Amino acid sequence: MPAFPPLRPETTLAVIGDVHGEIVLFERLLARLRQEAPGARLICVGDLIDRGEASAEVLRLAHARRGDITVIMGNHEEMLLRFLDASDADIEHALAHWLRNGGLQTMASFGILTPGAAPSHAECLAMRDRLRIALGLELELWLQSLPRLVVSGNVAVTHAGADPWRPMAQQSGEVLTWGCPDFGRRRRTDGIWVVRGHRIVSVPVAADGVISVDTGAFAGGALSVALISGGGVQFLSEFP
């Protein structure tokens, strides 16, 4: 099989993996990038929140630096938004799904405690109101505006990958944020490298058109970044 085309982003990219509320690693990695890649475009692949205890702090830091950090919509951000936007009839399901996947830590980081394993309908509504107040309108609107895809040259940054059968311009939001069964199994034929998080790898890796940067920061692993330029890719990692 011929080699995949070389990386050719429009500018140097620094793509940071899933932070999941690990504020200390996030701050250390950003400080390191200021020193080692000052001109790079900073992109987070999403999943800033959930599972880690400092999710609110991570969100607020990323929002404060929204002028120089692009954040991709992760499935965990989308679960939060689905809870906020759920109809009254669906709110219990939306909250339960989010809490099962790490939303408990995010709620706690905003000072909102869950009243038991199965909150009542009235409690779900009250928790939604408290979360909306704790977030504030500006932060909520920013979350709603997060892109699902950033393309630079022949590099596409998403949260969960892309459908290898479709051009990047025809990808669905569901696939970009939640994944595609054929991603990583079938090689793209358009020469586009896809950078993604979402699935934990033991070490960051670049191979055959795929760059994976989620190294499990919330689970005791590193927080990693891929520095991508026309010269190739270099990985940096901050460990607990």
Prediction pTM value: 0.97
Whether the Cβ atoms of residue 49 and residue 217 lie closer than 8 Å to each other: no
- pLDDT tens digits, one per residue of 108-123: 999 998 887 789 999 9
Tokens representing 227 are 């520095």
Question: What ranges do the domains of the chain cover?
Answer: 13-71+148-238, 77-143
Residues 6 or more apart in contact with residue 118 via CB below 8 angstroms = 96
| Whole-angstrom distance, CA of residue 127 vs CA of residue 190 | 46
pLDDT for position 115: 84
Report CA 108 to chain centroid distance, whole Å: 20
Fold classification of 13-71+148-238 (topology level): Purple Acid Phosphatase; chain A, domain 2 (3.60.21)
- pLDDT tens digits, one per residue of 161-200: 999 999 999 999 999 999 999 999 999 999 999 999 999 9
Listed in sequence order, the DSSP H helices in the chain are 23-36, 55-64, 75-85, 91-98, 104-109, 121-135, 137-144, 173-178
pLDDT for position 118: 85
pLDDT for position 56: 98
Length of the chain: 240
